[in-house]
Amino acid sequence: MKSLKRIMAVGLAGMMAFSLGACSPEAGSNQSGQSDEVVTITYARGRDTTEGTKKLLAEFEKKHPNIKVKFKEMPADTGQNHDQLVTMLSAGSSEIDVIELDVIWPAEFAKAGYLQPLDRYIEKEGIKMSDYIEGAVSAGKVDGQQYAMPKFVDAGLLYYRKDMISTPPKTWDELIQMAKENKGKEGTKFGFLMQAKQYEGLVCNFIEFAGAYGGRILDEQGNVAINSPETIKGLKKMMEIAQSDFVPSNVSTFSETETESAFIEGQSLFARNWPYLYALSNDETKSKIGGKVGIAPLPAGDKGSAAALGGWMAGINKNSKHKQEAWEFLKFMTGAEGQKLSAIASSHAPTYLPAYDDPEVQKASPLFADKNFVEGVSATLPRPVSPVYPEISDVIQIEVSKAVTGKQTAEQAVQNMESKLKEIINK
Amino acid at 368: F
Query: Which amino acid, residue 234?
Result: G
- 200-212 vs 389-404: helix crossing angle, rounded to 10: 80
Structural domains present in the chain:
39-154+310-381 (3.40.190.10), 155-308+384-426 (3.40.190.10)
Summarised one tens digit per residue, pLDDT across range 376-423 is 888 888 888 888 998 999 999 999 999 999 999 999 999 999 999 999
pLDDT digits (tens, 9 = 90+) for 273-328: 998 898 889 889 999 999 999 999 999 999 999 999 889 999 999 999 999 999 99
- Give every CB contact of residue 179 below 8 A, 6+ residues apart in sequence: 190, 191, 192, 244, 246, 269, 270
**Three-class SS of 315-347:** EEECCCCCHHHHHHHHHHHHCHHHHHHHHHHHC
- pLDDT value, residue 11: 46
pTM for the structure as a whole: 0.77
Which run of H or E residues covers position 149?
A: strand 149-155
Instruction: Give me the helices (H) in 24-166, please.
Output: 52-63, 78-90, 106-111, 119-125, 134-139
Residues pairing with 352 in the sheet? 132
End-to-end CA distance of the chain: 80
Q: Look at the chain and count its residues.
A: 427
| C-beta of residue 99 within 8 angstroms of C-beta of residue 314 | yes
User: Residue 219: is it exposed, middle or buried by C-beta count within 10 angstroms (0-12/13-18/19+)?
Assistant: exposed
Residues of the chain under the 70 pLDDT cut: 1-35
Q: What is the predicted pLDDT for the residue at 35?
A: 56
| CA 413 – CA 235 distance, rounded (Å) | 9
Query: Cα dist. 390→20, 118, 393, 396 in Å?
Result: 61, 25, 5, 10
Of residues 143, 197, 191, the one with CA closest to residue 165: 191
CA distance linking residue 68 with residue 44, whole number of Å: 14
What pLDDT, on a 0 to 100 scale, did the predictor assign at position 14?
A: 43
Report helix, strand or coil for 244.
coil
CB neighbours of residue 1 within 10 Å: 5
d(CA 268, CA 190): 5
Q: Return the pLDDT at 38.
A: 94
Dihedral, CA of residue 398, residue 402, residue 408 and residue 411, to nearest 10: 50
pLDDT of 53 reads 93
pLDDT at site 1:
45
